[in-house]
Amino acid sequence: MVSLVYMEDIVITNDNIHEIKALKWYLNVQFDIKDLRRLRYFLGIELAYSSKRLFISQRKYALDLLKETGKLGAALIESPMDYNTKFVDNIAPVPDIGRFQRLVRQLIYLTITRPDITYDVSYKVQDKTVETPYIRSDEQLADVFTKALAK
């Protein structure tokens, strides 16, 4: 028997349907739970069922990230590094550092839970299908050494 608990949600899975029903009955007696039946969405992962298979996807999670950052439908552009950039000590404060920290956490979660996405993106970057946008050095929120260098 496997039980996953997150906040006020609980996911119960087992090969034996009778054990699942017994646990749900016990939990309902103790806590007055609501059974939502088959799992459809949990921790950014969508689940779809067929008669023989279970399909998982993070499409909604990825689309929500794109929508939140205003990048849904964004066009691709080239991003060569500017060799003539002069660095200065006084950098303007970041308007909302929490927003960017939250986005980084969400992207890390997405790449850890879906390594195929990480591979596909790195492959598309290598063959120039996907390119990162150019950002002037004085507007960059990350250290220049964390970005790719031009060839």
Give the model's pLDDT for residue 87: 67
Task: Name the residue type at position 18.
Answer: H
pLDDT digits (tens, 9 = 90+) for 107-129: 888 777 777 767 777 777 788 77
Its pTM stands at 0.45
Does 144 have pLDDT greater than 60? no
Does 130 have pLDDT greater than 80? no
- Please state, rounded to an integer, the average pLDDT across all residues of the chain: 77
Give the angle 138-140-143 at the CA atoms, nearest 5°: 105
Among the listed residues 119, 116, 106, 6, the one whose alpha carbon sits nearest the alpha carbon of residue 60: 106
Cα(114)–Cα(108) distance, rounded to whole angstroms?
10
Scanning 32-114, the segments in alpha helix (DSSP H) are: 59-68, 97-113
CB atoms within 10 A of CB 38: 8
pLDDT digits (tens, 9 = 90+) for 16-46: 899 989 998 998 898 888 888 888 888 888 8
Coil, strand, or helix at residue 136? coil
Cα(80)–Cα(134) distance, rounded to whole angstroms?
7
Does 64 have pLDDT greater than 80? yes
Torsion 88-93-96-102 (CA) sign? positive
Residues 6 and 17: beta-carbon distance below 8 Å? no
Give me the mean pLDDT over the 58-73 stretch. 84
